[in-house]
A and B are shown apart, each in its own frame.
Chain A
Amino acid sequence: GESVGLHLPTLSVQEGDNSIINCAYSNSASDYFIWYKQESGKGPQFIIDIRSNMDKRQGQRVTVLLNKTVKHLSLQIAATQPGDSAVYFCAEIGGFKTIFGAGTRLFVKA
Chain B
Amino acid sequence: GAVVSQHPSWVICKSGTSVKIECRSLDFQATTMFWYRQFPKQSLMLMATSNEGSKATYEQGVEKDKFLINHASLTLSTLTVTSAHPEDSSFYICSATGGGSDTQYFGPGTRLTVL
Number of B residues, CB within 8 Å of A: 25
Do B93 and A49 have beta carbons less than 8 Å apart?
no
Do B111 and A41 have beta carbons less than 8 Å apart?
yes
Q: Interface segment, B11-19, B70-78, B81-89, B101-109?
A: B101-109
Do A43 and B107 have beta carbons less than 8 Å apart?
yes
Do B108 and A43 have beta carbons less than 8 Å apart?
yes
Binary B-proximity of A27-53 (CB < 8 A = 1, otherwise 0): 000001010100001111110010000
Give which listed residue, A4, A43, A93, A102, contacts B93 with CB less than 8 A: A43
Interface centre among B36, B43, B106, B108, by most A CB within 10 Å? B43
B62 lies within 8 A of chain A by Cβ: no
Do B109 and A41 have beta carbons less than 8 Å apart?
yes
Q: Which residues of chain A are near B59, meaning CB under 8 Å?
A: 2
Q: Which residues of chain B are near A110, meaning CB under 8 Å?
A: none
Q: How far is the CA of A103 from the CA of B45 in the complex (A)?
A: 12
B34 lies within 8 A of chain A by Cβ: yes
Q: Say yes or no: A36-B42 contact (C-beta < 8 A), given A41-B111, A43-B93, A44-B93.
A: no
Q: Which residues of chain B are near A96, meaning CB under 8 Å?
A: 102
Q: How far is the CA of A42 from the CA of B91 in the complex (A)?
A: 9
Do B103 and A1 have beta carbons less than 8 Å apart?
no
A98 lies within 8 A of chain B by Cβ: yes
Interface residues of A (CB under 8 A from B): 1-8, 32, 34, 36, 41-46, 49, 87, 89, 91, 93, 96, 98, 100-103, 105
Top 9 A-B residue pairs of the complex, sorted by shortest distance between their CB atoms: A43-B106, A44-B106, A43-B109, A103-B43, A43-B108, A93-B102, A3-B44, A102-B43, A5-B42
